[in-house]
């Protein structure tokens, strides 16, 4: 999927954008599975990042995530994407319950001059693996969902970005007084991705 | 007077020995026997007495000798002990000297290191001073730039105020001209309407006239034809009469002259009538031509009317276009007013280029600042490490100096004790030498040895004392250097503390930014939030509609099959238009579905345009959200964020239900100032637009002033 040069250690802008977009796709699938947004039987196992990752087989969700990741890859190549947020909301009340925040820092020199960077692919995969493990283990401290939930994806872009046909401007869908947990980050030397999850504090936690 | 047998010897100089201890016989001195002279020859008894006395004295002397020997041995033991102690002290002194030299070497190394570090710190300090001076120079430059920018901003403000005044004047003039034009246009419109109505009325009148004329022309034509026929008949009768007249000319002429005159009169009357009718016919003909002319005029007027209508529609379009242009002009003017240093439209690209340059410069400065921050952090860490290292070394040096001072003190005490013992030994030696003055011979050499040893010891003690003084001086110098280094360390520790404070502040800012990041806050000026339109919900809705349409299609198909079966079974002529209708319906469904998707896309575009327009017109970014209350009643929530808001928390929330909007209480509205305005404008005056307008003006003023 990612277009890389012959040498494994050289990372180009396009390759880095593909890595980050692919990571987002797999992370979104992992979150949907672990948080129980969709039933377990609708997921299938695949090998990725040295782990058994779960991917949804629902055509609609698959196409939705695929279209989002393709657009994110475009914006990443242009250096216009600042953040990608996966929002989990209550289906009935549309209240935002969780926000999975993927903050992206882009090396402006690469965007302007088109230079490439060097980093070992294995190291990048190791860093991504650590994040995937943390996402899987997040169910130990994140509150359970007592009602059916839906998800949506928000993209924080530069102000001068032309809004594509199938995208519209939206509000940030914030959580009031959230609890936050910072996860690991990974760096391709061109794009640095920081992961953070903020969730609505459980009633038990508030009482404590 | 008794005559002495042996003359007393000459007394040596012994200062301390008292004279009480001397006795003529037993003064404990072995005096050599001097042969008797003739004057001093004594008898045998005397010799025996003397011999016994001598023997007694010898014994006592031997005893004394033994005692002295024992004391000598004891003294020699003590001497050996002292020598051993002295050797030990000398060894210890050597070791101490070695340690001292080693400590000196370490101190010199430490001093060199300290000097190096102080030189490095000095260099770093100088570099930091240089950087500080450069930063100060840059700050001064920036302050000057800022002053110049403020001056230019003031000049621009003055220019803008002058331009605003001119704009106001121009706008007033334009409004006047516009009003005048509108009035003239309304007048012209009215006139055109009047003209149009007049033209229409004339046209109608002329139409009616033309119809009347046409009817009259027809009537006249008919009358003309009748008259022509009558004329023909008359002519025919006339010709007949003339023929008759000619044929029966003579008898009748004389018989009826009066009848002929009446006939002639009648004919003349008929001729006149015919002429009048001819004249009328000609008039009719001319009116017919006029009618044609009028119809042509009618057609022309119709054409003009159509042109006028076209121009009216065009005028309306032009008016709409002019209104749009006016709205755009006002928006551009408002934008121009907002933008400082811009007096006309040509200045906008220059201003944009200038702002872009400033942005690039500021970004560079931010990058440089970040780089300097990182350098300062690295320098902080290095200085912390060096500080810890030097503190450790200082502690070690202090401990060593304390140890050396303790050892020096101990050595001093030992020296004092040794010197005390030496003095005591001296005293003992002097006493012993005094005692030994009666017993010369072997004791003298020991005395000289002891004295030489004492002198050597004294010399060594003096040397030790000199070394001690030198070491004290060196230790004092080291203490002074350590004090100076401590002062430098205090200064550097202060610098380090200030850098640590900055580091803590930066970390707190970093944590705040991370909190904001995690919360989802963003800068509206640089960032916008997008999401896909065709979310799964909409897809599900489309799915539902598609499913329902498919169900209906299947029902229609089943009906079709049933009808076809019926047709085959009955053989009746069924309306063959049904499958065509089905196809038509399917086509309509496809068209409607496409239209629905287009409408959705267009609606999405339009709603985004509408939102942006509302934001630019009213100064509030409006976000609409449908919610449901716990009792199930649907409510629309509007969240307004002013474009002049200084924080992302400054939001107004309204619940809109059945035509009425109610403001919700949040952190921003619970502030005193805002609450006051809410009470005045909303609670008392019941006007939300007034509240929002007042709020925008206040936030605009606060932003422009800041």
B527 near A CB under 8 A: yes
User: Is B530 an 8 Å CB contact of chain A?
Assistant: yes
Q: Nearest-CA residue of chain A relative to B639?
A: A171
Chain B residue whose CA is closest to A58: B536
Task: Tell me, yes or no, if B526 comes closer than 8 A to chain A by beta carbon.
Answer: yes
> In chain A, what residues touch B522 (CB-CB under 8 Å)?
82-83, 156, 172
Question: Is there a contact between A83 and B623 if contact means CB atoms under 8 Å apart?
Answer: no
Residue B153 pLDDT greater than 80, yes or no: no
Give the pLDDT confidence score for residue B576 in this predicted structure: 53
Mean pLDDT of B300-319: 78
- Say whether pLDDT at B287 is over 70: no
Average the pLDDT over B467-483 and give the result.
79
Query: Is A66 in the B-facing interface, judged by CB distances under 8 Å?
Result: no
DSSP H stretches of helix in A35-120: 59-78, 108-113
Looking at the complex, report in whole angstroms how far the Cα of residue B601 sits from the nearest Cα belonging to chain A.
8
> Which residues between 117 and 136 in chain A have a beta carbon less than 8 angstroms from any beta carbon of chain B?
none
The pLDDT value given to residue B5? 44
> Are A30 and A195 contacting, i.e. CB atoms less than 8 angstroms apart?
no
* Range name among B68-72, B99-103, B552-556 with the lowest pLDDT average: B99-103
Beta carbons of B526 and A167 less than 8 Å apart: no
Closest partner CB to B527 (pick from A159, A170, A180): A159
Residues B206, B395: Cα–Cα separation, whole Å: 125
Q: Which residues of A touch B529 (CB under 8 A)?
A: 154-156, 169-172
Name which of B25-34, B309-318, B543-552 the model is least confident about: B25-34
Q: How far is A155 from chain B (nearest CA, A)?
A: 5
- What's the complex ipTM? 0.89
Q: How far apart are CA B121 and CA B386, in angstroms?
A: 9
Residues of B with CB below 8 A from A167's CB?
Answer: 530-533
pLDDT confidence band for B211 (50 / 70 / 90): confident
pLDDT tens readout for residues B87-124 = 887 787 788 778 777 877 877 787 787 778 777 877 87
- Tell if the CB–CB gap between A168 and B604 is shorter than 8 Å: yes
Count of A–B CB contacts within 8 Å? 107
Q: Pairing mode, if any, of strands B651-657 and B634-642? A: antiparallel
Q: Rounded distance, CA B508 to CA A68, Å?
A: 35
Contacts of A166 in chain B (CB under 8 A): 532-534
CB B538 within 8 A of CB A160: no
Residue of B nearest to A154 (CA): B531
CB of A185 less than 8 A from some CB of B: no
What is the pLDDT, as a whole number, of residue B572?
47
> Within an 8 Å CB–CB cutoff, is residue B517 touching chain A?
yes
To 10 degrees, the CA torsion angle through B559, B563, B565, B567?
A: -170
Q: Report CB contact under 8 Å: A64, B536.
A: yes
User: Which residue in A68, A161, A178 is closest to B519 by CB distance?
Assistant: A178
Instruction: Report all structural domains of chain A as residue ranges with CATH numbers, in order of start.
Output: 10-207 (3.30.900.10)
Using a CB-CB cut-off of 8 Å, the residues of chain A touching B622 are none
What confidence tens digit (pLDDT) does each residue in B598-642 have? Answer: 888 888 888 888 888 988 999 999 888 888 777 667 788 899 999
> Does B651 have pLDDT greater than 80?
yes
Which residues from A are below 8 Å from B533, CB to CB?
166-168
Whether B529 contacts chain A with CB within 8 A: yes
Chain B partners of A97 at a C-beta cutoff of 8 Å? none
pLDDT of residue B573: 45
Structure tokens at B702: 């606060």
Distance CA B291, CA B210 (A): 6
CB-CB neighbours of B283 under 10 Å: 13
Taking contacts as CB-CB distances below 8 angstroms, the residues of chain A near B639 are: 171
Instruction: Categorize the per-residue pLDDT at B542 as very low, low, confident or very high, splitting at 50, 70 and 90.
Output: low
The DSSP letter of residue A199 is E
Residue A101: the pLDDT is: 95
What share of chain B has pLDDT > 70, as a percent?
78
**Band of the pLDDT at B652, cuts 50, 70, 90?**
very high
Given a cut of 50, the residues of chain A with pLDDT beneath it are: 1-7, 206-208
B525: three-class secondary structure by DSSP: coil
Chain A residues whose beta carbon lies within 8 Å of the beta carbon of residue B518 = 101, 178, 180, 182, 196, 198
CB contact under 8 A, A182 and B514: yes
Whether the predicted pLDDT of B325 surpasses 90 = no
Q: What is the pLDDT of residue B422?
A: 65
- Give the residue, B547 or B702, on which the prediction is more confident: B702
- Asked if the C-beta of B632 comes within 8 angstroms of chain A's C-beta atoms, the answer is no
Are residues B517 and A166, on separate chains, in Cβ contact within 8 Å? no
B631 touching A, CB under 8 A?
Answer: no
CB atoms within 10 A of CB B443: 19
CA distances from B689 to B668, B682, B695, B701 (A): 18, 9, 10, 18
Higher pLDDT, B179 or B636: B636
Model confidence band, residue B150 (pLDDT cutoffs 50, 70, 90): confident
Q: Which of A164, A167, A195, A201 to mutate to test the interface with B (most CBs of B within 10 A)?
A: A167
Give the contacts of B305 (CB within 8 A, at least 6 positions apart).
B196, B199, B200
Q: Which residue has the higher pLDDT, B355 or A75?
A: A75
Confidence tier at B408 by pLDDT (50, 70, 90): low
d(CA B675, CA B686): 14
A204 and chain B in contact, CB less than 8 A: no
Distance from CA of A7 to the nearest CA of B (A): 32
Residue A151 sits at the vertex; the CA angle it makes with A150 and A152, to the nearest 5 degrees, is 135
Contact B517/A103, CB-based, under 8 Å?
Answer: yes
Task: With beta carbons under 8 A apart, name residues in chain A contacting B539.
Answer: 60, 64
Among the partner-chain residues B514, B526, B531, the one whose CB lies closest to the CB of A167 is: B531
Instruction: Give DSSP secondary structure letters for B281-300.
Output: HHHHHHHHHHHHHHHHHHHH
Contact B530 A93 (CB under 8 A): no
**Comparing C-alpha atoms, which of A144, A43, A141 is closest to residue A90?**
A144
Please tell me the distance from the alpha carbon of residue B665 to that of residue B648, in angstroms, as a whole number.
16
A156 at the B interface (CB within 8 A)?
yes
For the segment B221-273, what is each residue's pLDDT rounded down to a tens digit?
787 788 778 777 777 877 777 777 677 554 544 445 566 677 777 777 877 87
For residue B632, give the chain A residue with the closest CA. A93
| Chain B residue with minimum CA distance to A151 | B536
Query: How far away is chain B from the Cα of A18, in angstroms, using its nearest Cα?
Result: 20
For the cut 50, the answer to whether the pLDDT of residue B21 exceeds it is no
pLDDT, tens digit, for every residue of B500-525? 888 888 888 877 777 777 777 788 88
Closest partner residue to B517 (CB to CB) among A93, A101, A166 is A101
- From B521, B525, B532, residue closest to A167, measured CB to CB: B532
* Summary mean pLDDT of chain B: 75
**Six-digit token string for B706:** 């800041």
Across the interface, whether the CB atoms of A152 and B526 are under 8 A apart is answered: no
Does the beta carbon of A29 lie under 8 angstroms from any beta carbon of chain B?
A: no
Confidence of residue B577 (pLDDT cuts 50, 70, 90): low
Q: Is the pLDDT of residue B337 over 90?
A: no
Q: Which residues of B393-422 are buried (b: 16+ CB within 10 A; e: fewer)?
A: bbeebeebbeebeebbeebeebbeebeebb
Interface check A163 vs B, CB under 8 A:
yes
CA distance B432 to B420: 18
Question: Which is higher by pLDDT, B40 or A198?
Answer: A198
Does residue B17 register a pLDDT over 60? no
Q: Do A168 and B533 touch (CB under 8 A)?
A: yes
Does residue B536 sit at the A interface (CB-CB below 8 Å)? yes
**Interface contact A180-B527, CB threshold 8 A:** no
């Amino acid at each position: 999927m990612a277009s890389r040069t012959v040498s494994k250690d050289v990372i180009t802008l396009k390759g880095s954008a593909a890595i980050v977009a692919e990571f987002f796709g797999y992370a979104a699938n992992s979150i949907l599975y672990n948080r129980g947004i969709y039933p377990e039987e609708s997921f299938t196992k695949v090998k990725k990042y040295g782990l058994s990752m779960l991917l949804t087989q629902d055509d609609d969700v698959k196409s939705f995530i695929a279209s989002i990741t393709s657009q994110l890859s475009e914006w990443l190549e242009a250096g216009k994407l600042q953040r990608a947020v996966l929002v989990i909301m209550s289906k009935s009340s549309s209240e935002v319950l969780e926000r999975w925040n993927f903050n992206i820092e882009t090396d402006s020199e690469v965007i302007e001059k088109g230079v490439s960077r060097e980093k070992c692919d294995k190291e990048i995969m190791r860093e991504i693996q650590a994040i995937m493990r943390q996402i899987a283990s997040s169910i130990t401290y994140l509150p359970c969902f007592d009602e059916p939930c839906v998800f949506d994806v928000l993209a924080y872009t530069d102000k001068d970005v032309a809004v594509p046909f199938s995208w519209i401007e939206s509000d940030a869908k914030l959580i009031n007084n959230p609890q936050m947990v910072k996860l690991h980050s990974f760096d391709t030397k061109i794009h640095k991705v920081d992961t953070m999850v903020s969730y609505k504090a459980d009633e038990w936690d508030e009482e404590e | 007077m008794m005559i002495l047998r042996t003359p007393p010897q000459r007394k040596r100089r012994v200062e301390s020995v008292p004279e009480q201890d001397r006795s003529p016989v037993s003064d404990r001195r072995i005096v050599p026997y001097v042969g008797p002279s003739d004057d001093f020859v004594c008898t045998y008894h005397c010799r025996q007495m003397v011999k016994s006395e001598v023997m007694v004295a010898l014994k006592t002397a031997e005893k004394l000798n033994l005692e002295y020997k024992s004391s000598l041995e004891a003294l020699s033991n003590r001497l050996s002990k002292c020598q051993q102690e002295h050797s030990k002290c000398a060894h210890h002194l050597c070791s101490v000297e070695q340690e001292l030299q080693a400590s000196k070497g370490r101190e010199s190394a430490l001093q060199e290191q300290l000097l190096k570090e102080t030189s490095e710190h000095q260099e770093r300090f100088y570099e930091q001073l240089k950087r500080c001076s450069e930063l100060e120079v840059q700050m001064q430059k920036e302050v000057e730039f800022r002053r110049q920018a403020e001056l230019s901003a003031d000049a621009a403000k003055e220019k803008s105020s002058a331009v605003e005044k001119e704009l106001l004047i121009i706008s007033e003039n334009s409004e006047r001209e516009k009003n005048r034009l509108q009035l003239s246009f309304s007048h012209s419109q009215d006139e055109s309407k009047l003209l149009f109505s007049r033209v229409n009325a004339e046209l109608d009148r002329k139409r009616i006239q033309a119809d009347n004329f046409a009817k009259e022309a027809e009537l006249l034509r008919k009358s003309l034809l009748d008259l022509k026929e009558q004329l023909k008949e008359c002519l025919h009768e006339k010709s007949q009469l003339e023929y008759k007249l000619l044929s029966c000319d003579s008898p009748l002429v004389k018989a009826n002259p009066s009848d002929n005159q009446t006939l002639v009169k009648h004919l003349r009357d008929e001729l006149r009538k015919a002429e009048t009718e001819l004249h009328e016919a000609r008039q009719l003909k001319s009116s017919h031509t006029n009618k044609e002319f009028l119809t042509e005029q009618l057609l022309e007027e119709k054409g003009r009317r159509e042109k006028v209508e076209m121009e009216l529609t065009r005028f309306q379009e032009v008016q709409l276009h002019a209104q749009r242009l006016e709205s755009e002009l006002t928006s551009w003017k408002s934008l121009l007013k907002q933008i400082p240093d811009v007096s006309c439209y040509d200045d906008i690209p220059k201003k944009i280029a200038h702002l872009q340059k400033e942005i690039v410069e500021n970004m560079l400065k931010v990058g440089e600042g970040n780089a300097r921050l990182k350098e300062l952090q690295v320098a902080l860490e290095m200085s912390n490490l060096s500080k810890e290292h030097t503190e450790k070394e200082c502690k070690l040096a202090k401990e060593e100096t304390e140890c050396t001072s303790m050892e020096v003190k101990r050595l001093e005490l030992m020296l004092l004790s040794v010197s005390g013992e030496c003095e005591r030994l001296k005293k003992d030696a002097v006493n012993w030498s005094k005692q030994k003055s009666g017993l010369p011979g072997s004791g003298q050499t020991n005395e000289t040895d002891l004295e030489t040893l004492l002198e050597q010891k004294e010399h060594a003690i003096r040397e030790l004392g000199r070394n001690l003084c030198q070491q004290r001086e060196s230790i004092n110098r080291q203490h002074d250097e350590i004090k100076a280094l401590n002062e430098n360390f205090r200064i550097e520790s202060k610098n380090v503390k200030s850098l640590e404070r900055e580091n803590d502040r930066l970390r707190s800012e970093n944590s705040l930014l991370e909190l904001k990041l995690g919360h989802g806050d963003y800068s509206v000026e640089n960032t916008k939030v997008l999401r896909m339109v065709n979310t799964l919900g909409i897809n599900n809705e489309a799915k539902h509609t598609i499913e329902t349409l498919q169900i209906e299609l299947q029902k229609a198909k089943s009906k079709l099959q049933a009808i076809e079966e019926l047709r085959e079974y009955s053989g009746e002529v069924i309306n063959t238009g049904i499958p065509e209708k089905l196809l038509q319906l399917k086509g309509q469904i496809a068209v409607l579905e496409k239209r629905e998707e287009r409408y959705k896309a267009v609606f999405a575009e339009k709603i985004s345009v509408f939102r942006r327009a509302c934001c630019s017109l009213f100064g509030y970014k409006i976000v609409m959200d449908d919610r449901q209350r716990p009792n199930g009643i649907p409510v629309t929530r509007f969240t307004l964020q002013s474009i002049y808001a200084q924080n992302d928390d400054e939001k107004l929330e309204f619940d809109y239900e059945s035509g009425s909007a109610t403001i919700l209480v949040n952190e921003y509205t619970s502030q005193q100032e805002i609450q006051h305005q809410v009470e005045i404008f909303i609670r008392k005056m019941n006007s939300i637009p007034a509240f929002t307008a007042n709020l925008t003006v206040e936030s605009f003023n606060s932003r422009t002033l800041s």
